[in-house]
Structure 1
Amino acid sequence: MSTVHAVVESPLGALTLVARDDALTALHFADGRHRGQEPGERTTTPLLAEARRQLAEYFDRRRTEFDLPLAPEGEPFQLRVWALLREIPFGATRTYGELARQLGHVRYAQAVGAANGRNPLPVIVPCHRVIGADGGLTGYAGGLDRKRSLLALEEPPAEDAGRLF
């Protein structure tokens, strides 16, 4: 297995994309817990170039979902949570409790929160769309300022705010 990485500039700061073989395995913020620990050589591959393109489209509000091969590494429960995160539509939010109910038990809310916090592909797997039961912003591996920025990016443009569809 060949692991490579590339650094992408974004409105959130530098992002490091990590890929193994033909799938993305991680996205790290420049000041995050994995800073400076990226495995493999820094390079460009067709997959990393496509991920860079899709991220640029997302930050330009021209893309609402990512279409990239992903291979996050985690426990089976974490993988189930991360799959649910990908089902949250652009511009929508869910609470930890709602995701726990989808998994079959409301008491899983804390476990959902823990899995959400270990999401290795933030932005692409939209863990920023998960909020507290009271509608407040809760933790985010990239920091609450980045979470606010991502949620604001996904809000409808101001000219559409009052329009009925």
Structure 2
Amino acid sequence: MYYSEFSTPMGKMYAVADNHYLLGLYYEGQKYCPDMSQFECNPSNDLLQATTHQVQAYFSNSNYQFDLPLNPQVSEFQQRVLSVLRNIPVGKTLSYQQVADELNQPTATRAVASAIAKNPLIIVIPCHRVIGQDGSLRGFAAGLERKQQLLELEREVVAA
């Protein structure tokens, strides 16, 4: 597996990939960010270069649609949760309860929150679009300030 690092307006990010799929996208210092020393640094890897380009395009236009081959290494339940997140449109949000309801597991809000917290593909799979049922910002592995910034960035594009 390989990694690269690059800068964004909200801090340094790391992308992790194998020869075929993007496996992870993390902010420096983010919870659950793996130790990059276990991977080979390879910024010339085509997929990692494409990831850098697409993330930077997102920050230029947060309505950008990612087109990367993804393979998050997560449980079956987490896969289902991430699938719901992928369908949240730019500028929109769902509550943790709404995500649980989408999964037909209305009592699983804590499990949903835990699965979202461990999303290995931040921004690409938009976990920042999930908020508390009362509209408040709740946990975000990269920090609530970044979550707020991402939501504001997307609202600006939708409002334009």
- Same-fold call, TM > 0.5? yes
Residue of structure 1 equivalent to 2:14: 16
- Which secondary structure state, in structure 2, belongs to the residue aligned with residue 116 of structure 1? helix
Match of 2:137 in 1: 137
Task: Tell me the amino acid that sits aligned with residue 140 of structure 2.
Answer: Y
Q: How far 1:96 sits from its partner (Å)?
A: 0.7
Matched residue of 1:14: which SS?
strand
Q: Please report how far the alpha carbon of residue 109 of structure 1 lies from its aligned counterpart in structure 2 after TM superposition.
A: 1.2
Question: How do residues 79-98 of structure 1 correspond to structure 2 at under 5 angstroms?
Answer: 79-98=79-98
Aligned to 2:27: 29
TM-superposed CA distance for 1:8, in Å, is 1.2
State the shift of 1:62 in Å: 5.9
Q: 5+ residue gaps in structure 2?
A: none
Q: TM-score, normalised by structure 1?
A: 0.90
Cα deviations across residues 5-51 of structure 1 (Å, max 9, x unaligned)?
00010011100000012111111211123567123211121111111
Q: 2:2 aligns with which of 1, 4, 11?
A: 4
Q: Greater RCO between the two (CA within 8 Å, min separation 6)?
A: 2
What is the percent sequence identity of the aligned residues? 36
Q: Distance in 1 between matches of 2:47 and 2:18?
A: 10
Aligned to 1:66: 66
Question: Which consecutive unaligned segments of at least 5 residues does structure 1 have?
Answer: 161-165
1:40 aligned partner, one-letter code: F
| Residue 49 (1) aligns with residue 63 (2) | no
Give the letter for the 2:40 counterpart.
E
CA RMSD of aligned residues (A): 1.7
CA contact (8 A) 1:65 1:90 kept: no
Counterparts in 2 of 1:157 and 1:75: CA distance versus 1, 3 Å: closer
Compare CA radii of gyration and give the structure with the larger one: 1
